[in-house]
Structure formats: C-alpha cells, structure tokens
Structure 1
Amino acid sequence: KCAQPRRWKAFDGKITEMDTQNSLRGKELLEIYRSINTRGIPKDERTSVLLTLKWTVKEHECKLTQEIVALIDREIDLMSREVKECNLEGLRKRICTLFLQYIKIPEFNPQVAGLIKVPQDPLKLYKNVYFCHSCEKYLAPTEFPIPANSHTIGRCRSCYQLDNEARQREAYFKYRLILENLRKSEVDYQDDSKIVFLVQLPDMQYLIENIWNCQSALSACSDLYDLVMVRWDKQHEWSPWNTILLTKEEADAHLKLCNLQKTYEAPFIYRIEQKHIRAKNYFAQIPVMSSFLHRSSNQSNAN
C-alpha cells in the first residue's frame, strides 16, 4: 500500500494517478524487499542487491540499520568464501525480517504512518488513551462515544453495543412471555381464536411499545414481567383492536366485568378505543390481517 500512487476519480469518471515523494520512496523500498527475497539468483546479482540495500539503510544511523549493515557484510563475506546457499538461509531471513521492520518505521518510510494504528511515539500513546471501566481496557479516543455535554469518559463503543444487544434479548424475552401467556389464555376460551396465532413477536413488540407505551392502561405499571394482554371485550376473540395491557391482578378483575360501559369512565374508554384504531391502522398493512379486519367491521356494524 505504501507504494501505491494517489488515485482520484475525475468528473468524467476517469481515474487519475499521481506518484508522491512518499509513494516513490515506498515503491523503492518495496522493490528492494522483493529483490532480497528472490531466490536462486547468481552471486554477483545477490551481491549487487545487498549493496543497494546497504546504501539505502545507511542513510539513517541507528541500532537497527547498523545491525542490517553488519548482517549484509557477513553474507557478502560468506558468499566470497563459497559457503553453500542452504547454510545462508537463516542469515538471509534475518536480513529480510530486519528490513521489514525498517520499512514499517515512518521515519524511514513516511507513507507507512497512515497505515499504522498504534503511534510509534509512546508519549502520544499515553496522552491519547482512555480507560473503559466496563471492559477494563485502554483504548483510543475514537473508541468512545462522547456526547458534547459530557465531562467524563464512559464505556467504549463495544461495551455499549454489547449492552444494547443484551437488553434487546431481554426485551424480546419479555415480549415472547406476554405473547405465550396470551395464546394460552385464548386457547382456554375454546372459541376458535385465530388472530393471536397470526401475530408474531415483532408485531407484539410494536403493539406493546408503540400502542400501549409499555405500561398498564390502568396503573401505568411498566414492569413487563407483570404485564399481560387480555381481551378488551371478552365476548369477542382477542385481536390487536380488541385488547388491553394490564397487570395480572388488573387483568383478573377486568375479565370478571360484565359491562365495560358502566365500569369504566367515558374518557378512559375513549382512550382505549383510540389505541384500538391505531392498532387497526397498523395491522391493516398486513395482508393476512385484512380479512379479520373486515369481519370485525361487519360485526361492529351489525351491533
């Protein structure tokens, strides 16, 4: 990647390429690296490649370059003594490994700076690392979602995502529990209820969250483990437009009522009916529900 030229697309769709000073440097180092990795070349060519590598790394004086130069001199000396190539394999691999380290240093290969995630300067690393108290890891600032009005560093993105997934699984379990309890109660009526078995988990989630706001219609209790869905009018089968979300105790009392109009106040009944209308509008978009909606409308007109 360090040897690749910069590319951009023009207005006519043509790709324009441009070599920069840094990309040319990367290309030069890449060619040298490929050359020293080439096997089976004559000794004079190998010597020429090693000398090119030697003068390239000698541009920068450091412990790494000194070690590379020493290894190059050793290989040239051993080749002059007619040492077999199989005995030089370890030495040549060492030269390749050290030169690869050389290539990865931005001071010697500026183009690589944009490809290395960990800063080479330890001081930069210490200044730009934060501690996540959830996973107990030290991470870069980009790994933390920090609101504009926040004064502290909270959990990292991974921990937030994991927490959201866990909460979503827990919420799905609650909705599944409500749906299963509803289906069991409908079976007990023994009046051939069908709609409840057509409703799927996402439908139940929408119904509870968006229509009933995850709370009891009477007490506003929001503990989903204590909430159940029952028929609003127990004379008709359960449907999203004939239901009410209540606590278990409230549901038991509700199902014992004989006359809803006399028991509940008019504003409360109106509010429930509005929720039923919203549910009808939503489930009318589901083809399998359309026939039940028409049947429900006919029953209402007959009454």
Structure 2
Amino acid sequence: MYYLVNVIWDGRSAITEASEISSLQCIRWDRTQDWSPWNCIVLTTQEAELHENINDVKEFYSADFITKVTLRHISARIQFLSLQETEDSVQFTGEFNEFNETNVLLDKEYVKSFMNIDSAHVKG
C-alpha cells in the first residue's frame, strides 16, 4: 500500500492533490470492478464519500482527469504485473511458467487487452 499510495499516486489526492496522509483513502475507481492496484484512486475522505456515489466515472469526470487516472492505472499494472502473472500461473496451471516480460510489454495488442482499455483512451 505504501508503494501504491506514495509512488503511483505521489501521496496525494488525485482531485485536490491534498497530501495529509491521515485524510487519504485508496478506494475503487470503478465500483463495479474488484479493488486492485489498477482499479483504485487516492482521495481525501470527503472526496471518497462523493466518489463512491458516482454510477459511471466515465460520464462524471472530464476526459483529461480520466486520462490522468488511466495513466496511474497503467503504471500500477506494470509495477504489479509480476504479482498478477505469478498468481495467474499458479492458479490456472499449478506451476510456474517462464515469462518473458519484455515481449509482453512491447506487444501493443496484449497490453491493450491486458489493460482492458477501450481504443478511445489509447493513442497509437
């Protein structure tokens, strides 16, 4: 959690950039999805209360803000990729498989699929 809050989110609220750690919460970005490092957002307690009542974040927030959050989610996916790949490997095969991280990260279609990003938020 320390890494997620302080490195990925710079120890600040995504909305106001407030940095008082005791007032920050790491909650789900999209409440219809499970919490994960790539489906969370750091907000103040008051912002979090409001955010939890939003039905569709894509309709509520501006495109620029969604892009800002999406970039943080991409960073989190990359940073925590080895944990997810290890868990998936053990869960589905019962053994560890060799994983060539370089090829995966350079394969644009794999990254789009893995990130579950619609083409409106991806350039190139």
| Contact kept in structure 1, 2:30 and 2:56, CA below 8 Å | no
Residues 117-173 of structure 1, C-alpha deviations (whole Å, 9 max, x = no match): xxxxxxxxxxxxxxxxxxxxxxxxxxxxxxxxxxxxxxxxxxxxxxxxxxxxxxxxx
Distance in 1, matches of 2:37 and 2:4, equals: 7
Give the corresponding residue for 2:18: 221
- Counterpart code for 2:53: K
| Structure 1 unmatched runs, 5+ | 1-203
| Structure 2 unmatched runs, 5+ | 90-112, 118-124
- 1:239 aligned onto 2:55: no
Secondary structure, in 3 states, of the residue corresponding to 2:16?
coil
What is the aligned-residue RMSD (CA, Å)? 2.2
Larger helix share, 1 or 2: 1
2:79 paired residue among 277, 282, 285: 282
Aligned in 2, Cα 1:298/1:212: closer, same or farther, shift over 3 Å?
A: closer
| TM-score, structure 2 as length reference | 0.69
Residues 279-303 of structure 1, C-alpha deviations (whole Å, 9 max, x = no match): 00010122666529xxxx57938xx
- Counterpart code for 2:63: A
Aligned in 2, Cα 1:287/1:256: closer, same or farther, shift over 3 Å?
A: closer
| TM-score, structure 1 as length reference | 0.29
Aligned in 2, Cα 1:282/1:227: closer, same or farther, shift over 3 Å?
A: same
Aligned in 2, Cα 1:287/1:272: closer, same or farther, shift over 3 Å?
A: closer
Runs of 4+ in 1 over 3 A off after TM superposition: 287-290, 297-301
| Contact kept in structure 1, 2:13 and 2:19, CA below 8 Å | yes
Residues 250-299 of structure 1, C-alpha deviations (whole Å, 9 max, x = no match): 0010010012122100010001000000000010122666529xxxx579
Secondary structure, in 3 states, of the residue corresponding to 2:42?
strand
Q: Which has the higher contact order (CA 8 A, sep 6+)?
A: 2
| Contact kept in structure 1, 2:5 and 2:26, CA below 8 Å | no
- Counterpart code for 1:205: Y
2:59 paired residue among 256, 262, 280: 262
- Aligned residues with identical type, % of pairs: 34
Distance in 2, matches of 1:246 and 1:221, equals: 8
Structure with higher Rg: it is 1
